Each structure stands twice: as C-alpha cells, then as structure tokens.
Amino acid sequence: MDPKNFEIIPGSPDSPVILHVPHSARFIPADVRTGILLDDTQLNAELDSMTDSLTDSIALQASERAELRPWIFINTFSRLVIDPERFPDEREVMNKVGMGAVYRKSSTGLDLRASDFSDEKVLLDSFFHPYANALEALVSERLAALGGITIIDVHSYRTEQHENAVNHGQKRPAMCIGTDEFHTPPWLIECAQAAFAPLGETFLNEPYAGTYIPLKFYGVNSAVQSIMMETRADTFLDDKLKMHEGAIDVVTGLTSLIDQVKLAVHRKHDPGAISW
C-alpha cells in the first residue's frame, strides 16, 4: 500500500481558510529515489534549490496566531516525486521544459529521470490523484459547512531564476501574489497586498502566476476562492536555509491575511464585502 503523501491539520469549524503547502518537503521514498538519475550530492543540491523550505513552519506559526485557526493541507513528499500544483495533462505549460506533474528534468536542465522512464502513470496514480482527491474532498466538506472557502497557497521562491524555466527576465519582488481571474476576487487581492506590504515590493503574477484550485471547482464555482503567496526566500531564510528575523514579518503578514479573510466572510451580507 502506498503511503499517504499529505497531511491534513484540522482548523476551527468556523474558519473559511485552507492553507495549502505543496512544496515544503524533501522526503523521497526509496523506490522513487531509484528512478532519479542524480547522485546524492546532485540530488541534495536540487532539493535545496527546488524545495520551498520552511513554508510549512510559516503556515503553522500563522495558524497558531490567527483569530480562527485555519485548516492546513501539507504535501509531505518532495515535489520531485510528483508536483501536485501542475496539471497532469497537456494543459501544463511546464511540460515544455520537462517539469510537469512528474519531472523529467532538473531545475538546471539535467535529466532527472531516464528518457525511457515508464512509471509516470504509477506515480500519478499512487500520489498525484490521491493527493488531489483528498484536497478536493476537504474543500467540498468546508464548502458544504460554510458556503464558501478561501485557499491560501503558501510558497517561496529563490532569489535567482532557475536555469530551466519558462519565465526568464521577470521581476523578483519580496512577495509575488498569484491570482486567478475567476477564483481571486478584488477584495482578496487588496487584503493580500495590504497584509504583505511591510515586506517590501509586491507584484501580481510575477514571476509566478496563478493559484491552486481543485479541478472539480476550477472555473465553475466562484465560492471556492484562492490566492497564492510566493515569498522570495531571502526575505525569511539565510543562505543555509534557516529562518532569520525576517520570518516574523512573513508570519505576521500571513496571519493578517487569514484574519482579513475571516472578517470579510463575517461581513458577507454587506454590499461589496464578499462575492460568494
């Protein structure tokens, strides 16, 4: 039986917020490791580069400080096993650089898996689909309980652009706020911009665009709202990937956003306050 590659940490029954933390883990099961071509030194460097280090800690700390504890959904396996934020089909733009739902290439363009690698479906069936189904079920449950939910997609990114990328030359602000035209209403963008303004510059959808929505709801149910926070790593991590004093500002910003979402939901009967 395949181990679960996710953890759900329950929040308050009244909380409309789900924190999604998809890229914080480094764990790779032994049987998956055998299909990765990189040696241990190369793999460790790739994990240093590709892991959104300690974003799980950011989410947990913000959860503890929030007025209503949000629900948290955490990927407990490395994104090198499967990347739950990718489309598992031809819609995924990162397929063109070999970094779709199952990576074929590393962040530097090295072969991560052999050209004749044939276990992609096995990985998708074992890890991608169960993960997506579990998050969809959580969203469905919270939606039924409250009538609307807000996913905050918790990420970080490195100061330097990966060599194997599709978004070269874009701005790299302290905070990138990812949005979706259908699932991210203006009030939620304004809340995020205000919450993270103390960190420094914020840009929308640059260098990373979009935000996670379970495919069942994607483009069809606006009561499922979502926004992504992509914190530039040096804002809260040192060069050894340990938190420095800037982390408190990131935690404070996320806590503020969680609380603002709760406040907006409680005002949902006021004109223009919320659009569920």
Q: Which 3 state secondary structure label does DSSP give 45? A: helix
Q: Under 8 Å CB-to-CB from 263, ≥6 apart: which residues? A: none
Report the amino acid identity of residue 201.
E
Report the C-alpha gap between 251 and 57 in whole angstroms. Answer: 9
- Residue 220 CA, chain-centre distance (Å), reads 21
Task: Output the pLDDT for position 268.
Answer: 62
Pairing of strands 175-178, 224-232: antiparallel
pLDDT, averaged across the chain: 93
Task: Output the pLDDT for position 264.
Answer: 85
Helix axis angle for 186-196 and 247-266, nearest 10°, is 150
Report the C-alpha gap between 58 and 169 in whole angstroms. Answer: 28
Distances (CA, A) of 195 to 32, 129, 205, 214: 39, 33, 17, 25
Indicate yes or no: pTM above 0.85: yes
Phi-psi region of 165 (alpha: psi -120 to 50; beta: other; left: phi over 0): beta
End-to-end CA distance of the chain: 40
Residue pair 55/154 in contact (Cβ under 8 Å)? The answer is: yes
Report the C-alpha gap between 119 and 105 in whole angstroms. Answer: 15
The domain spans of the chain are 6-266
Task: Output the pLDDT for position 92.
Answer: 83
Instruction: Summarize pLDDT for 90-99 with one digit per residue, the tens.
Output: 888 888 888 9
Task: Output the pLDDT for position 102.
Answer: 96
Q: Which 3 state secondary structure label does DSSP give 35? A: coil
Report residues of the chain scoring pLDDT below 50: 1, 269, 271-274
CATH number of 6-266: 3.40.630.40
Q: Give me the residue label for tokens 């759900």.
A: 8
Phi and psi at 87, nearest 5°, equal -70, 140
Task: Output the pLDDT for position 89.
Answer: 86
